[in-house]
Amino acid sequence: MLVAPGKPPPVLAAGALAWREKGDGVQVLLIHRPRYDDWSIPKGKLDKGETFPAAAVREVAEETGYRVRLHRPLPASVYLLPDGRTKIVQYWTATVRAKVAPGPKDRGEVDDVRWVPLDEAERLVTRQGDQVPLVSLRRFLEADELKTVPIIIQRHGAAVSRAKWRKGEEARPLNSKGRKQAQALPALLDAFDPASVVSSPWQRCLATVEPLAKVEGLKVRTKDQLTEAAHTAHPSRTAAVIDRVLREARPTVVCTHRPVLPTVIESVRAVAQQGAALELPREDPFLAAGEALLLHTTSGGTVVAIERHLPNIG
């Protein structure tokens, strides 16, 4: 993030509005902060080298005892602090993966955690910055778009240049930057709880996703149609693989190559809502090496939100 000369860097924070269905309605997870005597959405500052999604999951766990998975993004909150710095808070909707602690890690910071009906939550929170995510969640609920799964299009990490590689393209490996990206990827993508990994069988793609698959306890499934050579010969077969992933609407990571991305993006565009489609990359190289394109998808295979993330390698 660029900062104007002479200006202090912004304070970066992240949080998540966890929800669950209870009875005939939806409840959301709120925390009580004794210092302010208010109810709010769990959030906190990023640690050094941490990504926004990883920070959101960590903060919810520390403040509530719940480990969550992130779903579609909510509007960010941007405001001025008393010392003149800008604070930027990124939010996501979330669901619970597990209860990992009995409650708040620091009861001087958070002294109560409560599942609250959505109507009550809108009355209970006081800060405008907390009202906006609640209103957005209600809008998703009323549009029947609250339940989403992440489909992640992953470009492989930075690789040894073609000019310096004398062996076959299928064996061209990651360079040192790419290896760092691969090692940093689990901390980023685990926040979205992927359930499967599909990859081009070429070495630089496999090396990108294997650390993630190991952390998640998943087997990497390979598809020849995701390679550069197969795409050049039969792009329609590549599109068919992506179309099937989108139709199945399971939390999936798909790793492929830069020349394949135009076909992937056109498949996504065909099933994306108009507003989401506007967030799709438009120009080559479409994604930077190691970058992830997150597609938040309904059970019917419609992409309703899109975001992009790079692993943080310092």
Worst-scoring range by mean pLDDT, 4-8, 35-39, 71-75, 198-202?
4-8
Structure confidence at residue 272 (pLDDT): 98
Q: How far apart are the first and last CA of the chain?
A: 13
Q: Is the pLDDT of residue 296 over 90?
A: yes
Using CA atoms, how far residue 182 sits from 55, 141, 165, 200, 310, in Å, is 19, 35, 20, 15, 11
pTM: 0.93
Strand-pair partners of 252: 151, 196
Structure confidence at residue 150 (pLDDT): 97
Structure confidence at residue 3 (pLDDT): 47
Question: In sequence order, which residues have a C-beta less than 8 Å from that of residue 151 and are 6 or more positions away?
Answer: 245, 246, 249, 250, 251, 252, 254, 294, 295, 297, 303
Matching residue, tokens 């989108």: 246
pLDDT in tens, 207-261: 999 999 999 999 999 999 999 999 999 999 999 999 999 999 999 999 999 999 9
Average pLDDT, the chain: 94
Under the banding of pLDDT at 50, 70 and 90, the label for residue 2 is very low
Q: Checking phi first, is residue 290 left (phi over 0); if not, alpha (psi -120 to 50) or beta?
A: left
Architecture of the 11-142 domain: Alpha-Beta Complex (3.90)
Q: Is the pLDDT of residue 1 over 80?
A: no
CATH class held by domain 149-309? alpha beta
11-142 and 149-309 in the same fold: no
Task: Please state the domain extents for the chain.
Answer: 11-142, 149-309
Rounded to whole angstroms, the Cα distance separating 225 from 234 reads 8
Question: What type of residue is 8?
Answer: P
For the chain, what percent of residues have pLDDT higher than 70?
98
Listed residue (45, 46, 98, 48) closest to 69, CA to CA: 98
pLDDT in tens, 50-105: 999 999 999 999 999 999 999 999 999 998 898 889 999 999 999 999 999 888 88
**Quick check: 205 and 156 in contact, CB under 8 A?**
yes
